[in-house]
Amino acid sequence: MRRSDCDQTVRIFDRRLGSVCEENVYRGRAMRWLYGTRIGFIASEFAAMTGTVNRAFGAWYRRDGSRAVIESFVKEHDIDLSEASQPLEAYRDFNAFFERRLKAEARPVDHAPESLIAAADARLMAYEISDKLVIPVKGRAFSIRGLTGGLAMDLLGPSGTCLVLRLAPADYHRFHYIDAGEQVVLGRLGGLWRAVSPLSLAWQRPVFEQNRRDVTLVRTANFGPMVQIEVGALMVGQVNQSLPDCCRVSRGGEKGWFSIGASTIVQLFSERAVRIDADIWQKSKDGIETRVRFGEKIGCKGSGHTCGRNANSLAMAIEGH
Protein backbone atom coordinates (compact mmCIF):
# COMPACT_ATOMS: atom_id res chain seq x y z
CA MET A 1 0.00 0.00 0.00
CA ARG A 2 1.32 3.42 -0.93
CA ARG A 3 1.85 6.11 1.70
CA SER A 4 -0.95 8.22 0.19
CA ASP A 5 -3.37 5.31 0.62
CA CYS A 6 -2.96 5.56 4.39
CA ASP A 7 -4.07 9.18 4.55
CA GLN A 8 -7.60 8.37 3.43
CA THR A 9 -10.71 10.33 4.23
CA VAL A 10 -14.25 9.01 4.12
CA ARG A 11 -17.24 11.07 3.02
CA ILE A 12 -19.98 11.56 5.60
CA PHE A 13 -23.46 12.95 4.93
CA ASP A 14 -24.78 15.13 7.76
CA ARG A 15 -28.58 14.96 7.65
CA ARG A 16 -29.04 17.99 9.88
CA LEU A 17 -26.86 20.22 7.72
CA GLY A 18 -27.88 18.56 4.45
CA SER A 19 -24.26 18.47 3.29
CA VAL A 20 -21.37 16.05 2.79
CA CYS A 21 -18.13 16.51 4.73
CA GLU A 22 -14.92 14.52 4.98
CA GLU A 23 -13.74 12.57 8.00
CA ASN A 24 -10.05 11.84 8.36
CA VAL A 25 -9.49 8.11 8.93
CA TYR A 26 -5.73 8.18 9.41
CA ARG A 27 -4.59 8.95 12.96
CA GLY A 28 -0.90 9.05 13.86
CA ARG A 29 2.22 7.23 12.76
CA ALA A 30 1.14 3.93 14.32
CA MET A 31 -1.76 3.57 11.90
CA ARG A 32 0.50 4.36 8.94
CA TRP A 33 2.95 1.72 10.12
CA LEU A 34 0.22 -0.90 10.70
CA TYR A 35 -1.49 -0.39 7.35
CA GLY A 36 1.40 0.76 5.16
CA THR A 37 4.24 -1.70 5.86
CA ARG A 38 4.69 -5.46 5.67
CA ILE A 39 6.03 -5.63 9.25
CA GLY A 40 3.09 -3.56 10.43
CA PHE A 41 0.70 -5.95 8.71
CA ILE A 42 2.26 -8.91 10.54
CA ALA A 43 2.12 -7.03 13.84
CA SER A 44 -1.52 -6.10 13.38
CA GLU A 45 -2.42 -9.73 12.57
CA PHE A 46 -0.61 -10.89 15.72
CA ALA A 47 -2.53 -8.32 17.76
CA ALA A 48 -5.79 -9.44 16.17
CA MET A 49 -5.19 -13.11 17.00
CA THR A 50 -3.90 -12.77 20.56
CA GLY A 51 -5.95 -9.88 21.95
CA THR A 52 -2.80 -8.60 23.67
CA VAL A 53 -3.25 -5.04 22.44
CA ASN A 54 -6.89 -4.99 23.57
CA ARG A 55 -6.06 -6.15 27.08
CA ALA A 56 -3.20 -3.68 27.45
CA PHE A 57 -5.19 -0.83 25.94
CA GLY A 58 -8.19 -1.55 28.20
CA ALA A 59 -6.05 -1.78 31.34
CA TRP A 60 -4.29 1.49 30.53
CA TYR A 61 -7.54 3.42 30.17
CA ARG A 62 -9.09 1.88 33.30
CA ARG A 63 -6.35 3.15 35.60
CA ASP A 64 -6.98 6.27 37.71
CA GLY A 65 -4.37 8.30 35.86
CA SER A 66 -6.32 8.06 32.62
CA ARG A 67 -8.79 10.66 33.92
CA ALA A 68 -6.32 13.27 32.70
CA VAL A 69 -7.02 12.26 29.09
CA ILE A 70 -10.75 12.99 29.24
CA GLU A 71 -10.62 16.77 28.97
CA SER A 72 -8.30 16.82 25.94
CA PHE A 73 -10.40 14.08 24.27
CA VAL A 74 -13.55 16.15 24.78
CA LYS A 75 -11.93 19.24 23.26
CA GLU A 76 -10.38 17.39 20.32
CA HIS A 77 -13.69 15.77 19.34
CA ASP A 78 -15.99 18.66 20.34
CA ILE A 79 -18.11 16.43 22.59
CA ASP A 80 -21.20 18.08 24.08
CA LEU A 81 -20.85 17.45 27.82
CA SER A 82 -24.35 18.79 28.50
CA GLU A 83 -25.71 15.53 27.03
CA ALA A 84 -23.89 13.31 29.53
CA SER A 85 -25.87 11.94 32.48
CA GLN A 86 -23.06 12.82 34.91
CA PRO A 87 -20.67 15.78 35.30
CA LEU A 88 -17.13 15.33 33.99
CA GLU A 89 -15.60 14.97 37.46
CA ALA A 90 -17.80 11.93 38.21
CA TYR A 91 -15.91 9.66 35.77
CA ARG A 92 -13.18 7.74 37.61
CA ASP A 93 -11.16 6.89 34.46
CA PHE A 94 -11.22 7.35 30.70
CA ASN A 95 -13.06 4.11 30.00
CA ALA A 96 -15.86 5.12 32.39
CA PHE A 97 -16.29 8.30 30.36
CA PHE A 98 -16.13 6.35 27.10
CA GLU A 99 -18.98 4.13 28.34
CA ARG A 100 -21.00 7.14 29.53
CA ARG A 101 -24.78 7.23 29.46
CA LEU A 102 -26.67 10.24 28.11
CA LYS A 103 -29.64 12.12 29.47
CA ALA A 104 -32.89 10.76 28.04
CA GLU A 105 -33.77 14.09 26.46
CA ALA A 106 -30.45 14.13 24.55
CA ARG A 107 -31.70 11.34 22.26
CA PRO A 108 -35.48 11.51 21.77
CA VAL A 109 -36.81 8.20 20.47
CA ASP A 110 -39.32 8.09 17.62
CA HIS A 111 -42.02 5.79 19.01
CA ALA A 112 -44.25 5.71 15.91
CA PRO A 113 -44.74 1.96 15.26
CA GLU A 114 -43.98 2.32 11.54
CA SER A 115 -40.68 4.20 12.13
CA LEU A 116 -37.41 2.31 11.91
CA ILE A 117 -34.96 4.00 14.29
CA ALA A 118 -31.16 4.08 14.57
CA ALA A 119 -29.83 1.70 17.22
CA ALA A 120 -26.83 3.91 18.02
CA ASP A 121 -24.95 7.10 17.24
CA ALA A 122 -23.04 6.03 14.15
CA ARG A 123 -22.10 6.43 10.51
CA LEU A 124 -24.65 4.36 8.61
CA MET A 125 -24.55 2.48 5.30
CA ALA A 126 -27.51 0.49 3.89
CA TYR A 127 -27.16 -2.42 1.48
CA GLU A 128 -29.31 -4.95 -0.28
CA ILE A 129 -28.95 -8.62 0.62
CA SER A 130 -29.05 -10.80 -2.48
CA ASP A 131 -28.59 -14.58 -2.53
CA LYS A 132 -27.55 -14.31 1.13
CA LEU A 133 -24.66 -12.02 0.23
CA VAL A 134 -24.06 -8.41 1.26
CA ILE A 135 -22.12 -6.57 -1.41
CA PRO A 136 -20.82 -3.14 -0.31
CA VAL A 137 -20.23 -0.38 -2.87
CA LYS A 138 -16.56 -0.47 -1.92
CA GLY A 139 -14.73 -3.16 0.01
CA ARG A 140 -15.19 -6.85 0.55
CA ALA A 141 -18.51 -8.66 0.11
CA PHE A 142 -19.50 -10.85 3.04
CA SER A 143 -21.95 -13.72 3.37
CA ILE A 144 -24.76 -14.06 5.88
CA ARG A 145 -23.43 -17.50 6.73
CA GLY A 146 -19.97 -16.14 7.48
CA LEU A 147 -21.31 -13.17 9.40
CA THR A 148 -23.65 -15.18 11.63
CA GLY A 149 -21.78 -18.47 11.68
CA GLY A 150 -24.70 -20.04 9.83
CA LEU A 151 -27.02 -19.33 12.76
CA ALA A 152 -29.42 -17.09 10.84
CA MET A 153 -29.59 -18.88 7.48
CA ASP A 154 -33.20 -20.02 7.89
CA LEU A 155 -34.50 -16.96 9.72
CA LEU A 156 -34.29 -14.22 7.11
CA GLY A 157 -34.49 -15.70 3.61
CA PRO A 158 -32.13 -15.09 0.67
CA SER A 159 -32.91 -11.37 0.23
CA GLY A 160 -33.42 -8.36 2.44
CA THR A 161 -31.71 -5.29 3.85
CA CYS A 162 -28.41 -4.92 5.70
CA LEU A 163 -27.49 -1.91 7.83
CA VAL A 164 -23.89 -1.31 8.93
CA LEU A 165 -23.47 1.21 11.76
CA ARG A 166 -19.86 2.28 12.34
CA LEU A 167 -19.18 3.90 15.70
CA ALA A 168 -16.22 6.28 15.86
CA PRO A 169 -14.20 6.62 19.10
CA ALA A 170 -15.87 9.94 20.02
CA ASP A 171 -19.41 8.58 19.66
CA TYR A 172 -21.83 7.62 22.41
CA HIS A 173 -21.02 3.91 22.68
CA ARG A 174 -24.23 2.38 24.04
CA PHE A 175 -26.60 0.65 21.65
CA HIS A 176 -30.35 0.13 21.89
CA TYR A 177 -33.31 -1.91 20.70
CA ILE A 178 -35.05 -0.57 17.61
CA ASP A 179 -38.44 -2.01 18.52
CA ALA A 180 -40.37 -3.95 21.12
CA GLY A 181 -40.15 -7.71 20.87
CA GLU A 182 -38.39 -10.82 22.12
CA GLN A 183 -34.68 -11.48 21.92
CA VAL A 184 -32.74 -14.72 21.74
CA VAL A 185 -28.94 -14.65 21.75
CA LEU A 186 -27.92 -17.04 18.98
CA GLY A 187 -24.23 -17.18 19.78
CA ARG A 188 -20.93 -15.48 20.51
CA LEU A 189 -18.57 -16.14 17.65
CA GLY A 190 -15.05 -15.53 16.41
CA GLY A 191 -11.95 -14.61 18.30
CA LEU A 192 -10.04 -12.04 16.25
CA TRP A 193 -9.77 -8.34 17.02
CA ARG A 194 -9.01 -6.65 13.71
CA ALA A 195 -9.67 -2.93 13.31
CA VAL A 196 -13.04 -2.07 11.75
CA SER A 197 -11.97 1.27 10.28
CA PRO A 198 -12.32 1.89 6.53
CA LEU A 199 -8.54 1.50 6.27
CA SER A 200 -8.72 -2.05 7.58
CA LEU A 201 -11.64 -2.87 5.29
CA ALA A 202 -9.65 -1.49 2.34
CA TRP A 203 -7.15 -4.31 2.92
CA GLN A 204 -10.00 -6.74 2.06
CA ARG A 205 -9.70 -8.47 5.42
CA PRO A 206 -12.75 -10.58 6.47
CA VAL A 207 -13.34 -8.41 9.54
CA PHE A 208 -17.07 -8.98 9.99
CA GLU A 209 -16.74 -12.75 9.50
CA GLN A 210 -13.81 -13.45 11.83
CA ASN A 211 -13.83 -10.80 14.55
CA ARG A 212 -15.32 -11.39 17.99
CA ARG A 213 -19.08 -10.84 17.64
CA ASP A 214 -22.37 -11.35 19.43
CA VAL A 215 -25.30 -12.54 17.29
CA THR A 216 -28.85 -11.86 18.51
CA LEU A 217 -32.24 -12.59 17.00
CA VAL A 218 -34.91 -10.03 17.89
CA ARG A 219 -38.47 -10.92 16.88
CA THR A 220 -39.70 -7.35 16.57
CA ALA A 221 -43.32 -6.23 16.78
CA ASN A 222 -43.21 -4.16 13.59
CA PHE A 223 -40.30 -5.34 11.41
CA GLY A 224 -40.38 -9.11 11.75
CA PRO A 225 -37.25 -11.07 12.68
CA MET A 226 -34.12 -8.93 12.83
CA VAL A 227 -30.63 -10.32 13.40
CA GLN A 228 -28.17 -7.95 15.05
CA ILE A 229 -24.43 -8.53 15.23
CA GLU A 230 -22.19 -6.45 17.49
CA VAL A 231 -18.64 -6.67 16.15
CA GLY A 232 -15.69 -6.26 18.46
CA ALA A 233 -12.53 -4.68 17.07
CA LEU A 234 -8.90 -3.82 17.70
CA MET A 235 -8.77 -1.71 20.87
CA VAL A 236 -12.39 -2.52 21.74
CA GLY A 237 -11.91 -4.18 25.09
CA GLN A 238 -15.29 -5.84 25.33
CA VAL A 239 -18.82 -6.11 23.95
CA ASN A 240 -21.17 -5.89 26.93
CA GLN A 241 -24.83 -6.97 27.02
CA SER A 242 -27.34 -5.37 29.39
CA LEU A 243 -30.07 -8.03 29.47
CA PRO A 244 -30.37 -11.83 29.76
CA ASP A 245 -29.93 -13.91 26.61
CA CYS A 246 -33.69 -14.59 26.31
CA CYS A 247 -36.12 -11.86 27.34
CA ARG A 248 -38.71 -9.30 26.30
CA VAL A 249 -37.31 -5.98 25.08
CA SER A 250 -38.69 -2.49 24.51
CA ARG A 251 -38.13 0.12 21.81
CA GLY A 252 -35.29 2.40 22.83
CA GLY A 253 -34.21 0.19 25.73
CA GLU A 254 -30.48 -0.30 26.24
CA LYS A 255 -29.18 -3.49 24.64
CA GLY A 256 -25.55 -3.07 25.63
CA TRP A 257 -22.36 -1.09 25.21
CA PHE A 258 -18.83 -1.22 23.83
CA SER A 259 -15.81 -0.66 26.03
CA ILE A 260 -12.93 1.52 24.84
CA GLY A 261 -12.36 1.70 21.07
CA ALA A 262 -14.27 1.94 17.80
CA SER A 263 -16.83 -0.66 16.86
CA THR A 264 -19.54 -1.77 14.43
CA ILE A 265 -23.13 -3.01 14.54
CA VAL A 266 -24.64 -4.98 11.64
CA GLN A 267 -28.42 -5.45 11.33
CA LEU A 268 -30.12 -7.88 8.94
CA PHE A 269 -33.80 -7.66 7.91
CA SER A 270 -35.95 -9.94 5.77
CA GLU A 271 -37.13 -8.94 2.33
CA ARG A 272 -39.97 -6.37 2.40
CA ALA A 273 -39.60 -5.88 6.17
CA VAL A 274 -38.20 -2.33 6.06
CA ARG A 275 -37.72 0.61 3.73
CA ILE A 276 -34.78 2.93 4.27
CA ASP A 277 -35.15 6.71 4.10
CA ALA A 278 -34.39 7.92 0.58
CA ASP A 279 -31.49 10.20 1.58
CA ILE A 280 -29.66 7.38 3.39
CA TRP A 281 -30.32 4.87 0.60
CA GLN A 282 -29.06 7.19 -2.13
CA LYS A 283 -25.95 8.18 -0.17
CA SER A 284 -25.20 4.51 0.49
CA LYS A 285 -25.44 3.78 -3.24
CA ASP A 286 -22.92 6.58 -3.76
CA GLY A 287 -20.57 5.05 -1.18
CA ILE A 288 -21.21 7.79 1.39
CA GLU A 289 -21.96 7.08 5.05
CA THR A 290 -24.76 9.01 6.80
CA ARG A 291 -24.28 10.30 10.33
CA VAL A 292 -27.24 9.24 12.48
CA ARG A 293 -28.13 9.42 16.15
CA PHE A 294 -29.77 6.83 18.32
CA GLY A 295 -33.57 7.14 18.30
CA GLU A 296 -33.99 9.07 15.06
CA LYS A 297 -36.00 7.69 12.16
CA ILE A 298 -33.89 6.10 9.42
CA GLY A 299 -36.63 4.19 7.60
CA CYS A 300 -40.09 2.71 7.90
CA LYS A 301 -42.05 -0.50 7.89
CA GLY A 302 -42.96 -2.06 4.54
CA SER A 303 -41.75 -3.30 1.17
CA GLY A 304 -39.57 -1.53 -1.37
CA HIS A 305 -36.19 0.07 -0.91
CA THR A 306 -36.91 3.60 0.27
CA CYS A 307 -39.53 5.67 2.07
CA GLY A 308 -39.99 9.38 2.54
CA ARG A 309 -38.51 11.10 5.52
CA ASN A 310 -41.01 11.90 8.25
CA ALA A 311 -41.13 15.64 8.99
CA ASN A 312 -41.89 15.09 12.68
CA SER A 313 -38.96 12.70 12.96
CA LEU A 314 -36.67 15.29 11.36
CA ALA A 315 -37.88 17.91 13.84
CA MET A 316 -37.15 15.50 16.71
CA ALA A 317 -33.66 14.86 15.37
CA ILE A 318 -32.92 18.57 15.16
CA GLU A 319 -34.28 19.19 18.67
CA GLY A 320 -32.12 16.35 19.96
CA HIS A 321 -29.10 18.00 18.39
CA 137 → CA 87, 108, 125, 313, distances in Å?
A: 41, 31, 10, 28
Of 44, 66, 115, 176, the active-site residue reads 176
Instruction: Based on the residue annotation, tell me whether 176 is a catalytic residue of this protein.
Output: yes
CA 24 → CA 28, 207, 220, 262, 314, distances in Å?
A: 11, 21, 36, 14, 27
Instruction: Based on the residue annotation, tell me whether 121 is a catalytic residue of this protein.
Output: yes
Of 121, 179, 214, 277, the active-site residue reads 121
d(CA 169, CA 287): 21
Dihedral, CA atoms, 27, 33, 38, 41, nearest 10 degrees?
A: -50
Instruction: Based on the residue annotation, tell me whether 93 is a catalytic residue of this protein.
Output: no
Of 263, 270, 284, 313, the active-site residue reads 263
d(CA 192, CA 176): 24
Q: Active-site residue numbers?
A: 121, 176, 263
